[in-house]
Amino acid sequence: MYVAPMDATRTFRHQNYELLCSAKAVDAGKFSPSLVVCKQVWPTRPRVIAVQRGDYLTEETAIDAAHAQGVEWILNYG
């Protein structure tokens, strides 16, 4: 029986934002990061932020990359 790998997700708070960082398994045992940023005060519209796809060997490193991109986005656009 085949069991699909689960995606890892962690939530962080930075300033007035919540960052939902996740890692999805892709080909050859590598992981792809994804990031959703949501302001905790009005307007609270979630935004999906593009994270550079790289050769992340673990879920943790992919989540770290998404977190770093989220903090950078907040500093530049938040």
Per-residue pLDDT tens for 31-58?
Answer: 999 999 999 988 888 999 998 877 899 9
**CA 45 from chain center: how many Å?**
16
Q: What value does the mean pLDDT take over residues 8-25?
A: 94
Please give the mean pLDDT across all residues of the chain. Answer: 88
CA-nearest of 24, 25, 18, 27 to 67 is: 18
| pTM (2 d.p.) | 0.85
- At the topology level, CATH places domain 8-77 in Nuclear Transport Factor 2; Chain: A, (3.10.450)
Q: Tell me the domain boundaries of the chain.
A: 8-77
Which residues have C-beta within 8 Å of that of residue 39, sequence separation ≥ 6?
16, 17, 45, 78
Give the integer Cα–Cα distance in Å for 78 and 15: 9
